[in-house]
Amino acid sequence: MKVALIGQPNCGKSTLFNSVAGYRSATANFSGTTVRLAWSKVRLNGFLFELIDLPGIYSLTASSPAEKAAKQFLLSSEVDLIINVVDASLLSRSLELTLELREMGLPMVVCLNMMDEAQRKGVSIDSRALGRLLRLPVVETIAPRGLGVRNLFTHVGLQAGWKPAPAEALRWHRDVEEALRTMEAELDGCCADGRLSHRFIAVKLLEEDGELQERATAAARARAAELRGQLERTHGRPADSVIMSERHDRSMDLFEKVAVVGRPQADFRARIDHLLMHPVGGYACLLALLVAFFWAVFGVGAAMEDFLLARMDAWFAQWGAALNEGTLGYAVAKSLWDGFAGGAAIVLPYLVPLLVGLALLEDVGYLPRVAYLMDGLLHRVGLHGTSTVPLILGYGCSVPACMSTRIFASRRDRFLACVLATQIPCSARSVVILALVAFYLGPGWALAVYGFNLVVVVLSGRFLTRLWPEVSPGMILEVPRYQWPSATVVLRKVWMRLREFVKLSWPLLIGGSVLLGLAEHWEWTRLINAALSPLTLALGLPVAVGTTLIFGVLRKELSMVMLVQALGTAEISAVMTTVQILVFTLFITFYIPCVSTLAVLVKEIGKKLTLAAAAYSVLLATLIGIAARFLLGALLPG
């Protein structure tokens, strides 16, 4: 049985999903969409469910790609039952989606989540009365604590196959209801797909919904246009707006019947916001938080790197002694080990704390606050506050950052946010910055690299908005309550990203390392390095570095690990000057995003724009590298 979880953003769907889904759950691309939906098989109360977590939507009137994907999934595939997750503390608003979903006529259970939040807000809800009025099972849950979840799935099992019956309480005002009935009658005998109710199709036709209009017959479309005209004349506004207020009225009605609003309990979280969104304090906190975050990641990472590198070297010295240096066997064994050790001792120590920290910030609900604080500043760059979300996610990995741009309706905003997000140093590039610059030159330099990167991103934004000017519609972003991060959700997010590293990048790292080892053994590297020497010479880097730049296109951490191998020493500061280390890092940070990011970019913004973005990044990286070489060279001795 396929069960779809659907609800408005931040209603706790994913927490619910994670509380029942096993660790075997996967994200999958469903046909026709590029949005990843999480799904998992769950065995509960003797039933086997296939649970699908759809992206949060406010209504079925789709505007952004994420909303379109959720809607398409509901319309086209064989969903057997809908669990409508509702944030009980925002009941009146959430009911509008409930009513719209109910119209579809699919078996449905309402999950009244976050009951504790509602109580804190002084809202007490009679869920039985709500169930009676909606004629649907309504189950109270507190997902983070797992309360009511088993009960919810009992009802899911019982409700399977039962379509919602018509409900008296949900009838619309007479003239609208009449128009709707006429439309429904028109649909008899045609357009029946047996799954969606006639009422739903009729409503959507009156709302001028593109997708369902395509499916309807010409006669039905003509009739819908006629009825729409009637409604518009009597109400003096567009038909879809009339229908929207019908739903709104019904929701308010239901809310008044089932909920009593009392005095809210004092909420300490309001006071936190008072500080974190303060016009001065907010920025100070943001800055302090980012610096603390950096120090924590670097502190943990550097300590682990020191320890692990020494351990790995000792191991190889012990085991590698059996092989003779200079033989093919030695070259293979050494490079295999270097690739493995690079992943374990250089990448993981920085990657893990970085991912944990980002997942925490995301889960607590801090990102929308950052978006709020940064909106004003970002407007000067031609973006708006919502784009801080992809930018911050970019510090983790460019792939989800680019995917998150789907929340923008405008193509131009998506392109800008994608290009800028890929210029933010992702965790792989952070590994280079931390393991190279911070480790050898000191954390101050690393902070400077991050700061400089931000300046470039801002200037880049300015430059690109000049090329593609458009009035940005401005930001509309819900600011959810803070919540305690749930350990399962955070761990799952970290694991998802780590799994990608362990399964994909680490083998690539080891394979790349062996390739480089062999190339060195047979002295092919000289050819590659010679071919790249115009670039390396222009940047003032050792010629041996050339090959590592090529490998960086696969994965940016490869460059770092290979650098150790290409230079033949882990003591990089002995062979590269401060300026060279900085130029190398800056070039790595800005030039072409890695292969997986390029693949996502092609999906999100198309081939042409991806190519443009890549070319732009190489040009930018080279210019910055050359400028850094001469400027820093003049400022720094050696």
| Contacting residue, 242, 475, 510, 561, with other proteins by CB under 8 A | 475
Least distance in angstroms from the C-beta of 122 to other proteins: 10
Instruction: Decide whether 118 or 562 has the Cβ nearer to other proteins.
Output: 118
Contact between 13 and other proteins (CB under 8 A)?
A: no
Strand pairing class (123-125; 259-261): antiparallel
Q: How many residues bind other proteins (CB under 8 A)?
A: 34
* Burial zone of 635 (CB within 10 Å; 0-12 exposed, 13-18 middle, 19+ buried): exposed
List the one residue out of 134, 111, 9 whose CA is nearest residue 66. 9
Separation CA 436–CA 582 (nearest Å): 9
Region 271-300 residues binding other proteins, contact defined as CB under 8 A: 277, 279
How big is the chain, counted in residues?
638
Instruction: Decide whether 242 or 432 has the Cβ nearer to other proteins.
Output: 242
Q: Which residues on adjacent β-strands are paired with residue 48?
A: 43
Contact between 262 and other proteins (CB under 8 A)?
A: no
Region 480-519 residues binding other proteins, contact defined as CB under 8 A: 480
Question: In the numeric block, which tokens belong to residue 182?
Answer: 């006429």
Q: Tell me if residue 82 falls in helix, strand or coil.
A: strand
Separation CA 415–CA 606 (nearest Å): 10
* Burial zone of 632 (CB within 10 Å; 0-12 exposed, 13-18 middle, 19+ buried): middle
Which of the ranges 72-80, 295-303, 468-476, 530-538 carries the binding residues for other proteins, by CB under 8 A? 468-476
CB-side neighbour CA atoms (13 Å) of 434: 31
| Contacting residue, 158, 332, 364, 477, with other proteins by CB under 8 A | 477
Least distance in angstroms from the C-beta of 477 to other proteins: 5
Instruction: Decide whether 244 or 344 has the Cβ nearer to other proteins.
Output: 244
Separation CA 555–CA 371 (nearest Å): 29
Contact between 376 and other proteins (CB under 8 A)?
A: yes
List the one residue out of 197, 481, 257, 530 whose CA is nearest residue 363. 481
Instruction: Decide whether 409 or 459 has the Cβ nearer to other proteins.
Output: 409
| Contacting residue, 177, 178, 470, 478, with other proteins by CB under 8 A | 478
| Contacting residue, 373, 437, 560, 570, with other proteins by CB under 8 A | 373
Torsion of CA 525, 526, 528, 533, to 10 degrees: 140
Which of the ranges 298-306, 376-384, 541-549, 557-565 carries the binding residues for other proteins, by CB under 8 A? 376-384
Instruction: Decide whether 205 or 373 has the Cβ nearer to other proteins.
Output: 373
One character per residue 34-63, x = contact with other proteins (rule: CB under 8 A): ------------------------xx-x-x
**Cα four-point dihedral sign 170, 174, 176, 177:** positive
556 neighbors 429 (Cβ within 8 angstroms): yes
Instruction: Decide whether 45 or 63 has the Cβ nearer to other proteins.
Output: 63
Least distance in angstroms from the C-beta of 402 to other proteins: 22
Q: DSSP code of 50?
A: E
Q: Which region holds residue 8: left if phi is over 0, alpha if psi is between -120 and 50, else beta?
A: beta
One character per residue 94-113, x = contact with other proteins (rule: CB under 8 A): --x-----------------
Region 379-408 residues binding other proteins, contact defined as CB under 8 A: 379, 384-385
Least distance in angstroms from the C-beta of 89 to other proteins: 6
Question: In the numeric block, which tokens belong to residue 64?
Answer: 């952004």
Least distance in angstroms from the C-beta of 243 to other proteins: 12
| Contacting residue, 25, 40, 89, 580, with other proteins by CB under 8 A | 89
Instruction: Decide whether 64 or 525 has the Cβ nearer to other proteins.
Output: 64
Query: Which residues are CB-contacts of 398 (< 8 A; sequence separation ≥ 6)?
Result: 421, 422, 424, 426, 593, 594, 597, 600
Query: Which residues are CB-contacts of 30 (< 8 A; sequence separation ≥ 6)?
Result: 37, 69, 73, 77
Least distance in angstroms from the C-beta of 593 to other proteins: 29
Least distance in angstroms from the C-beta of 276 to other proteins: 11
List residues near other proteins by CB under 8 A. 58-59, 61, 63, 89-90, 92-93, 96, 121, 123, 244, 248, 277, 279, 368, 371-377, 379, 384-385, 473-480
